[in-house]
Amino acid sequence: MSTTVLTELFARPGRGDDVAALLLEILHESLAHQDCETIRIIRDQDDPDHVAGLTQWTERQDYTGYLGWRTARGFTGTFEAMLTRPLVISYYDELFAGQGIAAVRESGAGRRPQ
């Protein structure tokens, strides 16, 4: 079963753009990392200095290995210099995933001919 990981980054005031830009810059390497299934970069609508990565990995150990690889390459330190506190990392098992009517309507699936 896949592991969903929420990694929260709380940027210093005004540094949310920098944190988001760095996450997007390294995105292609992250997606190419072994056992990475999906990545979403999200930002708090009420606090632009609160940025997060919502990722899915084959197993929890795959993310911890990836984080170790990023740390060894200096990226964790680069992020931490822009943050007010250490990364907040939470691991989740998925219990359910589904699409609501708005997603189905947007994709055109399930539309009736007129």
Dump pLDDT digits (tens) for 66-106: 999 999 988 888 888 999 999 999 999 999 989 899 988 87
Dump pLDDT digits (tens) for 23-77: 999 999 999 999 999 999 999 999 999 999 999 999 999 999 999 999 998 888 8
pLDDT of res. 80: 87
The domains of the chain, with CATH numbers, are 3-107 (3.30.70.100)
User: Within a 10 A sphere around the Cβ of 48, how many other Cβ atoms?
Assistant: 16
pLDDT of res. 108: 65
Q: Predicted confidence band at 11 (pLDDT cuts at 50, 70, 90)?
A: very high
* Rounded Cα–Cα distance for residues 9 and 81 (Å): 11
* Rounded Cα–Cα distance for residues 103 and 87 (Å): 31
Q: Predicted confidence band at 114 (pLDDT cuts at 50, 70, 90)?
A: very low
* Rounded Cα–Cα distance for residues 33 and 66 (Å): 7
Contact assessment for residue 91 and residue 60, using Cβ atoms and an 8 Å cutoff: yes
* Rounded Cα–Cα distance for residues 102 and 108 (Å): 10
pLDDT of res. 103: 85
Higher pLDDT residue, 111 or 12?
12
Q: Predicted confidence band at 113 (pLDDT cuts at 50, 70, 90)?
A: very low
Residue with tokens 């990545």: 39
Supply φ then ψ for residue 11, to 5 degrees.
Answer: -75, 155
